[in-house]
Structure 1
């Protein structure tokens, strides 16, 4: 948990300093490796989605960096690497993750994104506690899905979902879903 909080603090400091410099975005002053910073408030372990029953509670505070201003073109969309952390406010499962994000953006500003990646978490692998998920392995697959709209040139609002599980590679595989609102600032 301390490691996740340290990563979150580092990401927030990086984002704050980069956003402060970007009041008047000038392409020559922005880091070429950074495309977007994102912050979200997510409901933790949402009931009746991909993972089934809710066992854990609280809110996940999420911060994410999306890299590669140019990205790679694929199927009328763009693929970019991402790195993020979600910290649960009740001490339940928190996670750090990395992956590839594919995004399609329409001319009018609406967008859809999905991807694949890996997450490392501090949750239970195998437990008898009815209020905790049995996630089966420390490293999980992560699938994000996002639907939103760009507002102006830099701001974005979206509904964000993600699912983590071990894809039945371990005996226990309850998985974990989050769902909530995300704000993004694109450089």
Structure 2
């Protein structure tokens, strides 16, 4: 579990350090996002809630370069969702597709991998049994870009092992994020 916290803290620190100097970060980091997510939302993709009802902090960096695809762009994303009550936290890396409309509304979808510090087998009934340390990470986002730099969005993320092993209880988070584009 300590290595997950170190990975999350290192990715957050790197994002902050690289984002602090816009001139230096421009070529590497395209956008930084910070949000508050509802931990283990019941009734969505994973179906039920087992972990404590709490808020998680989400930090993400969308990186360069990007590739044009289906009218939008695909770029790498690295981030993490950190539990504020000691429940399951994760760090992830994705390929993220984002489409922006001329009106400022944008949509994003991704696919990647997450590493978490939750339990693998059902040992504690107040925690999800995720089956594998490395999980699929599937994010979706809808938001509005106010200007060249600032955005606000609704963000959803699902992580599970996609039934590659048992158990596969999965976990969903849902919340809001502020983004700053360099």
* Alignment match, 1:174: 169
TM-score (norm 1): 0.90
Distance 2:136 2:49 in 1: 19
Q: Deviations over 1:122-160 (max 9, x none)?
A: 111111422111111111101000000001110110000
Q: Distance in 2 between matches of 1:9 and 1:134?
A: 24
After superposing on structure 2, the runs of 4+ consecutive aligned residues of structure 1 that deviate more than 4 Å are: none
- 1:30 deviation in Å? 4.1
Gaps of 5+ in 2: none
Describe how 1:74-89 pairs up with structure 2 within 5 A: 74-89=69-84
Q: Is the 8 A contact 1:4 1:87 kept in 2?
A: no
Number of residues of Structure 1 aligned to a counterpart in Structure 2: 181
3-state SS in 2 of match to 1:3: helix
Given candidates 67, 85, 90, the residue that maps to 2:63 is 67
Question: Within 5 A, what are the aligned runs for 1:91-106?
Answer: 91-106=86-101
Match of 1:47 among 42, 61, 70: 42
CA distance in 2: counterparts of 1:131 and 1:4, whole angstroms: 20
Change in Cα spacing, 1:52 to 1:8, as seen in structure 2 (3 Å) is same
Match of 1:120 among 115, 128, 135: 115
User: What is the CA deviation profile of residues 43-70 of structure 1, one whole-angstrom value per residue up to 9, with x for unaligned ones?
Assistant: 000000000110102221111111115x
- Unpaired segments ≥5 residues, structure 1: none
